[in-house]
Structures are given as C-alpha cells and as structure tokens.
Amino acid sequence: MTMSDIMTTTSNPAESGIDWAEKRYLIIDDFVGIRQLLRESLRNLGAKHIDQASSGGEAMVLLSKTRYDVVLCDYNLGDGKNGQQVLEEARIRNLMLPSSVWLMVSAEKSVESVMGAAEHQPDAYIIKPITEGVLLTRLNRVWLKKQIFREIDQAFADKDYLRAARLCEEQIAHHPLHAIDLHRMRATLLLKSGDPDQAGAVYEQVLQEREYNWARCGLGKIRMANGDADAARMMFQAVITDNRFYIDAFDQLAESFQQQGKTEEAFDVLQKAAKLSPNSVPRQRALGTTALKLGNIPVAEKAFRKCIEIGEFSVRKTVDAYLGLARVCGQKNDTKEAIRLLNAAVHQFGGDQVTLRAKITEGLVYHESGDFRRARKSGDELEVMLADENRQRPDTETCLDMATLLFAVGVKEAPVNLLCYVTRNNHDNAPLLDDVQKIFDKARMADEGQELIKSARQEAADLMNKGVLLWKTGKLTEAVEWMRGARKQLPHNMRVLFNSAQILISHLQENGYQRGLADEAIGVLMHVDAIAPGQQRFAQLMEQLALLAPVSGVVAAAAASEYEAANGPVPESTRWSGA
C-alpha cells in the first residue's frame, strides 16, 4: 500500500458541519506503518486525541479505560484476538458509547471474513486501501446517522426497551430518510420487551412496502414463538432462497426444526450455516451438540474442536465445547483424552459450576465407555458435592444431566431431590416437566415421579401465593421479606422472581423511593433477563422503576451496571444498532 492510496484527500472536513477535532479516536492495527498512515489521515481531519493499539489484547485494555468516539479496527491483528472478536467483546461488555462509530478496516475480501465481522455489526466495513476521502465520507454518513439513534441507544443500554421503542416512533416523523432503520430497531425493541404482536405489526407494515429479509426473519421468529413452526420454517426458507448469505435465517431455520423435534433437519441446516460463516462460537457449539445427539461423532468432533479454536480469544469462549468434545472422546473410547479435556476445562474456567459439570461429564464418559466402577465413583463424588449446603445449585440442564447419571449408577435420593428442585423452579413449564417425567420413567419410577412432580409444583405455588396474598392485603413489608425467602428457595422460578420485583416496586410506590430496594428490584430483574430474555413483564417493570427513579433511567442503569460487575455480562443476543 502506498502513501497516496491512503492520503488522497477528496473531501473537506468542514463541509459536514461535524467537529472532528475534539473527538477521541482509537486505531487498532498490527502494522505500525498502517497505524501511522491512518493517524495522519485523522490528523488531516483535525483530530487531536488519537490512541493506537497493535493487538486485540492491547485494544481491550484501552477500550476498558476510555470511551472512544471513533474506532478504526483492522480485521487481522496477528496473534490473539482478531478485529471481529474485539468488536464482539466491546459490544458485550458495553465498552462503547451509544453514539460511538466502529469502522472495520481490512484487506480481507473473503465471504467468511466479511460475514464473520458483519455478524457483530460494525457501523461500516471498509476494504483496504482506503483513501482519506472515503474515510471522511463514511465517518460523516455514519456519525450523522448515529446521532438520530443516540437517545434510543441510551434507553436500550438502560434496558428501558418500551421507552426506546417509543423514541423510535417519534424519530420516524423527524427523519423519514431513516424510517426503515427506525422501524427495524423499533420492532427489535418491541420483541425484547415481550410484545410480539406490536413487533409483528411493524414487520407487516414494512413488508407492504418491500420484501426486506430482516422483516421476514423477524416475522418468522414471532411465528415460531407462537408455536407455528411450519409457517416460520417456510418464511426462513424463503429468505434463504432469496439470499443464500443471510446467516440469521439459517440459524432460525435450524431452531424451528429443533422445536419440531426434527434433529436431522436442524443438523443439515447448521452444517450449511457453519460452512458459510464458520467463525461463530455459538453456531459451532450448536452444530457439535446436535451432531452428538445424532451420534455423528466425526462432525461433532470437528465442530467442538473448531469451537475451542475460535473461542480461544473470544469473549464467548465456552466450557460447553470442552465438555462436548470430552463426550465425543468417550464415545470413541478415548477416556484419557476425555479426562485431559475435562481437567483443562476446570483449569481454564474454574468455579463450582464448571467443576460440577466436569464431574457429571466424567461420569457419563465412564458409563458410556463401560467403566461402571469409575462411573459409580464419579456419582459418589457428585453426591458429596450436592450435600455441600454452601454450593450453589446448578442450572436446569445440568441438574437434568446429573440426575440422569446418578440414576444410571444406582443412586436414588440425590437425583430425586434434584428433579424436585427443577420442578419447583419451573412449576408451570409443561415441556420441561415432560423431560423430568421422562427421566423418572427411564429410572423405572414413572408413578412415583408423577406424584413427586405434583407435590413439588404445589409447594412452589403455595410459596408464591403466600407472598402475593401478603401484598394484596397491604402487608408490603412482610410481603417483601417473604419473597426474599421464596427467591432463596426458588432462585430460578420466573413467577416468583417477577412477583418479588413487582412487590418491591409497589413498596417504592407506596412508601417513597429507596435506593436499596430499587437496586434489589433491578438485581431481581437482571437475573430474570439473564435466564429468559424478552419477557414482556420485564420491560413493564423496568419502565416502572425508571419512572420512580429521581433521574429517569440513571439509577436503573447504575444498578444494572453494578449487577453486571458482580455477576458478569447478562447474556443476550447480539445487540442490533440502528446505525
């Protein structure tokens, strides 16, 4: 690349009316010469505050310390994180301002690279060589557009989705040129707030004007959520026929097949999606898990190994890939490699939950390979872990896996307690309770399992109803205290969590704002959003809290940040930005 390739000036910075001088810039590129050329281009635009990073790791350190207005990031950054992974982590960790501009700058032209970066939604993807004129044109275009979405993005960051959706509607009247983008974001926000009917109406309105694939996919997701998997499947297939590179349609089509129990069809779609855009940790994990379920060991092994490879420097690095690959090795009777993987998982990820899951997988590996003595030993060690009152109960899927293993090695009391715990936390989730019953059936406890499920469901309902009764009879302080106890016993029961948050908010409404109670309510709702994003009641309660706060949204955002600092980022689908 020559100096003239980058330094040719074709635009006047003053023409845009944007003051580029006082904004903060970050250039991320592993070649010092390119960093210097881009720095000079920015200086010619008047920029004064320019930082540089030569690697993904160095970039993350700078992004953690400073909120940049503009980031110019190369895709290939040598060893460590690539540009896609830096962008992905910055999004998930909320290291960017709502108005920040992220330009992915790269010489990469392959479909795989471009699609991988595009999945994490940079504001623009610019192919090198880049002239100063092209850079300024892109910056002006994206910056002006970002300002339209600035307040909307801030409401999104505050998780006040209903307010953000209303702001989209207001902006449509003022900015008709950006109406399509605003409609798209409004529909996304309505879905996140748990209002699929309104979101569907937005998609239908857009589709009357033009067959946008994102609108068809959105409508397909709503059909799928409403249980009409066939209609959803046809919509996703139509999108793929229209655009074979629309990767979201592949992911959603696979999910629709999974919901219908068509595992082989889901597997075929996931294979195509992974071939098209292979650098997605969640996609490779899904492919590996589906292949393992079908007994396709070669594909499962390849997918899990790819998942580990691309996850090494990704914020989405997952222990699931290590556990899945260990299961694959067990199927191949390579228990030595399986145990090595499990030890690596415990070493790299740490924590009680990972140790517990690794021990479950170890038992399953031994059991499936016919080493019943060691499988029983693993089961005995799991029993000891479960007896530890200070140890947090595992998530639902882990509980089911553990119960399955314990029954298989001849243990009864511990898996029964686990399944009753799962039932109490999901007492109105019929599909999950069917899975619980199937585990009882396999353990030859069909009738006893039915009675245990019935009793556990009633126990959960009684615990919740007592708190609601106290609330309805005006005993708010007692109701708050009761629901704290209920949350401790049933930490993943959605109805208990929502009712607890509602009672806390009612206390604030009746007795005045108290920061401690508001933070407690936010913590409960953040936990809900982590377990099951997109609940309508979540959005409604978050809005009620925002209205109660001394400065609307500020306290809620602060409390949410404190929660995430203590518990880690709340998992959610990749954030869609209007720009």
Residue 8's pLDDT band (cuts 50, 70, 90): very low
SS3 content of the chain, % helix, strand, coil (to 5): 70, 5, 25
14-61, pLDDT tens digit by residue? 445 678 888 999 999 999 999 999 999 999 888 999 999 999 999 999
pLDDT at site 219: 93
- Which amino acid makes up residue 236? F
Report how far Cα 86 is from the mean position of its chain's Cα atoms: 16
Q: Tell me how far apart the alpha carbons of residues 256 and 231 are, in angstroms, rounded to a whole number.
A: 10
Q: Is the peptide bond before 129 cis (omega within 30 degrees of 0)?
A: yes
What average pLDDT is seen over the chain?
85
Residue whose C-alpha is closest to residue 20's, from 53, 42, 52, 51: 42
72-83, pLDDT tens digit by residue? 999 889 889 999
For 236-246, b/e burial (b = at least 16 CB within 10 A) is beebbeeeeeb
Count of alpha carbons within 13 Å of 416, Cβ hemisphere only?
14
Instruction: Describe the strand order of the beta sheet including 24-28 as a list of residue ranges.
Output: 49-53, 24-28, 70-74, 101-106, 124-127
Do residues 216 and 228 lie in contact, with contact meaning Cβ atoms separated by under 8 Å? Answer: no
Residue 576's pLDDT band (cuts 50, 70, 90): very low
Residue 506's pLDDT band (cuts 50, 70, 90): very high
| Sign, Cα dihedral of 211, 217, 220, 221 | negative
Q: What are phi and psi of 578, to 5 degrees?
A: -60, -25
pLDDT at site 578: 33
State the DSSP H helix or E strand holding residue 372, giving kind and residue range, or none if neither. Answer: helix 372-387
Q: Say what the pTM is.
A: 0.76
Residue 227's pLDDT band (cuts 50, 70, 90): confident
What is the rounded average pLDDT of the residues 262-267? 92
Ramachandran sector of residue 68 (left: φ over 0; alpha: ψ -120 to 50; beta: rest): beta
Do residues 576 and 122 lie in contact, with contact meaning Cβ atoms separated by under 8 Å? Answer: no
More confident position, 387 or 213: 213
Is pLDDT of 283 > 90? yes
Residue whose C-alpha is closest to residue 480's, from 525, 535, 537, 521: 521
157-181, pLDDT tens digit by residue? 787 888 899 999 999 988 988 899 8
Q: Tell me how far apart the alpha carbons of residues 305 and 301 are, in angstroms, rounded to a whole number.
A: 6
pLDDT at site 336: 94
